Amino acid sequence: MDQAKMLRRLVEERQKNENGPKIIAITSGKGGVGKTTLATNLAVALNNKGKSILLDADEQQSAFKWANQREDIKCIAVHSNLLEKLEELDNQYEYILIDVAGRDSTIFREALLVSDTLVVPTQPSLLDLDVLSYMQEKVKIAKQTNENLDAYIAINRASVRTKELNDAIEFVKEFDEFKLLNTVLFERKQFRDAILESKSVTEMSSSKAKDEMNQLIIELI
């Protein structure tokens, strides 16, 4: 079966099957915004909520390397043929989390077309916010097929509340294809420490980072 037919069938089946897995994709159009940090933290949260799997579709495979240091997080590296992999996994899991690079590629477009939820983390700087126009266009195209796609922007790695952050929040609100998550994740050492220890910040001692991540998880799932 060719990719177009497989995609149409998969989208149609997901629209009909309310009991299928919830698919969440995390992507960004720019590196260094904390995409994989967010993905690994969500992977732990979803694993605690139900049977889940993390698909690392980013060429750097950072999430896959992180998950390999744990015994409880199921993770598969996906370099191509995302649709075929999703068909294999259908009805085996309650949650499927996809970490995918935001550059325009087949695997990126497929992720948008089959996901229930899309999360785009961004730092509040002008250089990072600039790519949101590109992301909005890709989401708009995806919604022509996947009309139930919920797309969110998460402000990540923010400095302490500054005019830059406030301006970023107002700027993001102009993108009507996205909903802005209320929780802001600030630049904190605990996020880096958690990655190095193959953990989520929610598994570490009490901290502002832990509180922020827990609040964002509540918003998303």
pLDDT at 91: 83
CATH code of the domain in which 115 resides:
3.40.50.300
CA angle 63, 144, 168 (to 5 degrees): 55
3-state DSSP percent of the chain in helix, strand and coil, to 5: 45, 15, 40
Q: Note down the domain range covering 205.
A: 3-220
CA angle 135, 150, 119 (to 5 degrees): 55
| Backbone φ and ψ of 121, nearest 5° | -75, 145
3-state secondary structure of 206: coil
Q: Structurally, how many domains does the chain consist of?
A: 1
What confidence category does residue 90 fall into, taking pLDDT thresholds of 50, 70 and 90? Answer: confident
H helix or E strand, kind and range, residue 95: strand 95-100
Cα separation, 51 vs 204, in Å, equals 22
Percent of the chain at pLDDT exceeding 90: 75
pLDDT in tens, 127-177: 899 999 999 999 999 999 898 999 999 999 998 767 899 999 999 999 999
- The residue that leads in pLDDT, 221 or 51, is 51
pLDDT at 16: 62
pLDDT at position 2 over 70: no
pLDDT at position 94 over 60: yes
- The residue that leads in pLDDT, 3 or 92, is 92
| Backbone φ and ψ of 76, nearest 5° | -125, 135
For 11, half-sphere exposure in the C-beta direction (CA atoms, 13 angstrom radius) is: 20
3-state secondary structure of 214: helix
- The residue that leads in pLDDT, 8 or 190, is 190
pLDDT at position 14 over 80: no
pLDDT at position 65 over 60: yes
Among 14-23, 46-55, 82-91, 131-140, which stretch is predicted with the lowest mean pLDDT?
A: 14-23
Mean pLDDT of the chain, nearest integer: 91
Among 10-19, 64-73, 160-169, 210-219, which stretch is predicted with the lowest mean pLDDT?
A: 10-19
Q: Distance of alpha carbon 87 from its chain centroid, rounded?
A: 20
pLDDT at position 206 over 90: no
